[in-house]
Each structure stands twice: as C-alpha cells, then as structure tokens.
Amino acid sequence: MLSQYVKVGVDELAQEKLSPLLKLQYNNAIADAVADLGEPEEIGQVFSGFQKFLYQRQPAAA
C-alpha cells in the first residue's frame, strides 16, 4: 500500500479505497484480511491513523 502511495500520492489513501486495496492484497478474500488485521472497524481506524501519521509534522532535530 505504501509503495502505491509513493507512486500515486495522497489520493491513494482515501478511505473509500481501503476495501479495494484489501481485496487486491488478499486475492479478493476480505475474510482473510479480517483474520490477519482484525475487525473492519479496527482496520479502518488503523488506516486512518496511518494517514494522520504520514501528515503529522515532526519536530526539528535539536
């Protein structure tokens, strides 16, 4: 997913793309994604948190 973000940019991490990305990663088997990653709500929260992390400003090194 991250490599696709680098290629395409911020739009690659849009929330509506989460399900298609999981289907692609797990050969169209959402049940396998849930088994690996947790319940859909949890997966969505992690996905959103990942996006926030990417855009969070890091403090300057001292």
pLDDT tens digits, one per residue of 40-62: 889 888 887 877 777 777 777 76
> Is residue 10 predicted with pLDDT exceeding 60?
no
Rounded to an integer, what is the distance from CA 44 to the centroid of its chain?
A: 8
C-alpha span between 21 and 38 (Å, rounded): 15
Of 12-26, 31-45, 46-60, where does the model show the most confidence? 31-45
**Residue 50: inside a domain, yes or no?**
no
> Is residue 5 predicted with pLDDT exceeding 70?
no
**Residue 54: inside a domain, yes or no?**
no
C-alpha span between 41 and 54 (Å, rounded): 20
The pLDDT of residue 7 is 64
Based on the structure, what is the number of domains in the chain? 1
C-alpha span between 22 and 34 (Å, rounded): 9
- What pTM did the predictor assign? 0.57
> Is residue 1 predicted with pLDDT exceeding 60?
no
C-alpha span between 34 and 38 (Å, rounded): 5
DSSP 3-state of 44: helix
**Residue 32: inside a domain, yes or no?**
yes
